[in-house]
Amino acid sequence: MNQTGVFERMKRAIESAPRNGYVAELHLQVIKYADLLDGISGKEFCEKLGLTPSWGVEFAKMRKIAGRLREAGLEPERI
């Protein structure tokens, strides 16, 4: 899957999340696709998803956590 496809999938998942689950879904999507988001800045991430720049901080946090979760046995394809 290419990065364009990833952003489209992420956008659909986030938009379809319940209102009180928006942030959790954003976090899950970043963790799920962390490998494909390598090299993407927080600013670029926000621009591609139509988010305000402040979400770039959350993006950076989740990318860092994703590696540790995978080392602990997380299988992103099951998310």
DSSP string, 15-79: HHS-GGGHHHHHHHHHHHTGGGGTT--HHHHHHHHT--TTHHHHHHHHHHHHHHHHHTT--GGG-
Q: Domain residues for 29?
A: 3-78
CA pair distance 22, 42, nearest whole angstrom:
18
pLDDT tens for 8-41 read 999 999 999 998 999 999 999 999 999 999 999 9
CB atoms within 10 A of CB 64: 10
Q: What is the value of pTM for the model shown?
A: 0.89
Structural domains in the chain (count): 1
pLDDT tens for 33-76 read 999 999 999 999 999 999 999 999 999 999 999 999 999 999 99
